[in-house]
Amino acid sequence: MLKTRIGEIATKVGSGSTPKGGKNSYKGGKVALIRSQNVRDMYFDYNGLAYINDEQAQELDNVEVKSGDILFNITGDSIARCCIVPDDVLPARVNQHVAIIRTPSIDSHYLMYKLQFLKSYLLSISHGGSSRNAITKKGLENIEIKIPRDANNISRLLDAFSDKVNNNNNIVKQLNSIAKTIYDYWFLQFEFPNEEGKPYKSSGGKMVWNEELQRDIPEGWEVGNISSLIDSKKNGDWGKENMQGNYVLPVSCIRGADLDFVNGKSLSTPPTRFILEKNSSKLLKPYDFVIEISGGSPTQSTGRIAGISSYLFSRFNNGIVCSNFCKAITLKDKVSYYYFLQTWTTLFENDVMFNWEGKTSGIKNLMFDSFVKNTKIVIPNKQQLNTFFELCDGIDNKIQNLLKQNQELLSLRDFLLPLLMNGQVTIGE
């Protein structure tokens, strides 16, 4: 058992800075600038990863991130979160809210798990500044740790859980890519299978000019507003943090920040809230959608969407509602579900929603009703919608099973971590 301090085994402990101009200075080069939002508990979050150019990176050469480095949040609400930098993020630098811990003589994965185990202690020693808590460089260097002989075995065991999760996530990405490719091929290029199983348009399928869209569409297909597919809307409910009075119905509340979890792009679970039982009508049902109505950023519009498929509910212990900054919708026919999801996502990714935003008290709001009533889309015939639904529903079943497995794997890892760190459980050679 080695007893030491981080400062004695680390060759690097230090944080960086933000280029002059703040967020507006991110010039989209090839060097990643890692911020606190990218550092989660034991995993790296690629969402919102910023990039700087070579000149900016050179000014931050003293905080160049290297393979195997530990990233540790030293300020703010995310203080004491830490993870290992993924190699595919490099080259990279860190800003002033993230510290690099480099320990070439010690297994960095084990040290990351040790820091996670010590998180409650680290939060207790953070020093309150004028506006936020912080852990200083000296505070980091003075953290005492014990490293057992089986440290490498412990980290390999815990890494195995993360590796399996990463593998599952790669499969999820591939499955989503398959669904998107089929959508593009069938509904954008109109190469869905004809009666002979051949691509419709390139095999001579009849196309009809549509005046509203100023393009040809397959014979028998229609054009309508997005609203023509929507049956009803539900407003959000934030409820209470704890059970009190008549607020007794526990729910998982999906905020804009939780859409990535629903879509399988984040491990951070939505919060549990308590709502009035009389508001149970706000509970989401299979094949509803949640759409972010307020929020966004200068580079991201409002209108992000997440689908609530029937298989998704297996990942939640409670009923589901959306928050007040989101809106839930129900379609007239669930057979349109996957077509609607892909069509809305395509519009969002093409920045169409930027044209339908207003501002209230500085917050961007999607003018939802105007958008869905005035945006024209192609509406395929029922046969093609049904075929696409059946195909994508099978894909989604596989996706949700993998994401559910991820939650179970991480739950088991988090259960074992303190037992391994305090010696209650040991690993043989």
Count of H helices and E strands in the chain?
10, 25
- pLDDT tens profile 190-219: 999 999 999 999 999 999 999 999 999 999
Question: Quick one: pLDDT at residue 106?
Answer: 92
Which fold would CATH assign to domain 222-379? Answer: Adenine-n6-DNA-methyltransferase TaqI; Chain A, domain 2 (3.90.220)
Task: State mean pLDDT over 327-341.
Answer: 98
Alpha helices in 350-381 (DSSP H): 368-374
- According to DSSP, the β-strands at 319-322 and 247-254 are parallel
> Greater confidence, 45 or 20?
45
- Looking at residue 135, the DSSP 8-state letter turns out to be -
- pLDDT tens profile 284-297: 999 999 999 998 88
One-letter identity of residue 73:
N
- Strand ranges inside 6-52, DSSP E: 12-15, 31-34, 50-52
Confidence of residue 259 (pLDDT cuts 50, 70, 90): very high
Handedness of CA 260, 263, 265, 270 (dihedral sign): positive
Q: Looking at beta carbons, which pairs linking 201-207 to residues 24 or more positions away fall under 8 Å?
A: none
Where along the chain do its domains lie? 2-147, 148-195+381-429, 222-379
Question: Quick one: pLDDT at residue 25?
Answer: 66
C-alpha distances out from residue 261 to 21, 257, 258, 346, Å: 31, 8, 5, 19
- Give dist(CA 337, CA 279) in Å, integer: 25
Confidence of residue 360 (pLDDT cuts 50, 70, 90): confident
Question: Quick one: pLDDT at residue 192?
Answer: 97
Local structure of 276: helix, strand or coil: strand
Judge whether 293 and 326 are in contact, CB under 8 Å.
yes
What architecture is domain 2-147?
A: Alpha-Beta Complex (3.90)
- pLDDT tens profile 118-143: 999 999 888 655 556 889 999 999 99
> Greater confidence, 170 or 27?
170
Asked if domains 2-147 and 222-379 share a fold, the reply is yes
Judge whether 111 and 103 are in contact, CB under 8 Å.
yes
Question: Quick one: pLDDT at residue 26?
Answer: 72
Local structure of 306: helix, strand or coil: strand
Confidence of residue 146 (pLDDT cuts 50, 70, 90): very high
Closest CA to 334 of 383, 286, 263: 286
- pLDDT tens profile 373-416: 999 999 999 999 999 999 999 999 999 999 999 999 999 999 99
Question: Quick one: pLDDT at residue 125?
Answer: 84
Judge whether 65 and 85 are in contact, CB under 8 Å.
yes
C-alpha distances out from residue 374 to 16, 111, 227, 306, 363, Å: 47, 55, 8, 22, 23
Closest CA to 163 of 420, 411, 410: 410
Local structure of 357: helix, strand or coil: strand
Average pLDDT, the chain: 94
- Strand ranges inside 118-239, DSSP E: 127-128, 133-134, 144-147, 207-210, 215-218, 222-225, 230-235
